[in-house]
């Protein structure tokens, strides 16, 4: 556990925290003292993360949550508030979709799947957590988007607009919720995840290509590199940062 306990006493929900970037975010927030709810679609992935955090001296529990339904997100929030009396930080990270294909070959239901876990789930997470974030003295909403949502990406034509929608939601809510003292931001990460590992196995040259175009010469660590940025956005030092997208990709994208 970190000596820094800047998130002590705060309650955070992290969706899609059963693996990858979400797991890294949850681990980092817990290491700084937050009580973290692992909102995972499957207990088989969420429970081990909660167990690992507790084994390291942190506070965590898994609540099975399907972000494609408003009812499931509502149940997670209700259970969290019932158990802990508050929510200070809502991090929406869960996402499904993004398979490569040209636009003319992409079926319509691909947009339905991606928008449910990106735009729709962001809307539901925001709407349902709002009264609790407003009641917090430092309410924070963080949406996990992608560099593709900023610069676009060839051959995944629906992925980029679905992630860009999250940036628009964050900007709008930063304006709407500013008077309530709630900070709303996005992160756009590139990190070592199971999905990226799978891509590396299919395209052996991909890792080298990503590292070569990255000024820092490496791919991000989900806990320290990505979780650390979310911890900043969730903590007391980010009280004047809102409506922003922080690209955490080692300098690969420099367009902001």
- What pLDDT, on a 0 to 100 scale, did the predictor assign at position 2? 55
Tell how far CA 212 is from the center of its chain.
Answer: 26
State if pTM tops 0.85: yes
Q: Give the Cα separation of 250 and 228 in Å (integer).
A: 14
**CA 109-13-228 angle, 5° bins:** 100
Tokens of 199: 């891509």
1 pLDDT higher than 70: no
* Each residue's pLDDT tens digit, 206-230: 899 889 999 999 999 999 999 999 9
Question: Using one digit for the tens of pLDDT, what is the confidence trace for 98-140?
Answer: 677 888 888 888 888 889 999 999 999 999 999 999 999 999 9
- Share above pLDDT 70 across residues of the chain, in percent, rounded to a whole number: 98
pLDDT at 4: 76
Neighbouring residues of 162: CB distance < 8 A, sequence distance ≥ 6? 97, 111, 114, 115, 118, 119, 149
Q: Which of 159, 210, 219, 227 is catalytic?
A: 159
Map out the domains of the chain with their CATH numbers: 11-248 (3.40.50.720)
Q: Is 130 a catalytic residue?
A: no
Q: Is 181 left (phi over 0), alpha (psi -120 to 50) or beta?
A: left
């Amino acid at each position: 556990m970190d000596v820094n306990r800047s998130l002590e006493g705060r309650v955070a929900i992290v969706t899609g925290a059963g693996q990858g970037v979400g797991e890294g975010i949850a681990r980092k927030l817990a290491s700084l003292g937050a009580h973290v709810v692992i909102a995972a679609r499957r207990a088989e992935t969420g429970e081990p993360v909660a167990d690992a955090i507790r084994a390291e001296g942190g506070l965590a529990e898994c609540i099975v949550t399907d972000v494609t339904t408003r009812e499931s997100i509502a149940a997670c929030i209700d259970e969290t508030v019932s158990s802990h009396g508050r929510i200070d930080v809502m991090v929406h990270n869960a996402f499904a979709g993004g398979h490569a294909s040209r636009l003319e070959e992409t079926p319509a239901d691909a947009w339905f799947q991606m928008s449910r876990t990106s735009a729709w789930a962001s809307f539901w997470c925001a709407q349902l957590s709002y009264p609790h974030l407003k009641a917090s003295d430092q309410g924070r909403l963080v949406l996990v988007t992608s560099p593709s949502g900023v610069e676009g990406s060839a051959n995944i034509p629906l992925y980029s607009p679905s992630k860009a929608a999250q940036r628009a939601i964050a900007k709008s809510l930063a304006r709407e919720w500013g008077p309530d003292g709630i900070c709303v931001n996005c992160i756009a990460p590139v990190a070592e995840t199971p999905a990226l590992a799978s891509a590396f196995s299919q395209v052996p040259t991909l890792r080298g290509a990503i590292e070569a175009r990255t000024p820092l010469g490496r791919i991000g660590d989900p806990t320290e590199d990505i979780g650390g940025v979310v911890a900043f956005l969730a903590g007391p030092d980010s009280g004047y940062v809102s409506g922003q997208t922080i690209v955490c990709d080692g300098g690969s994208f420099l367009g902001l």
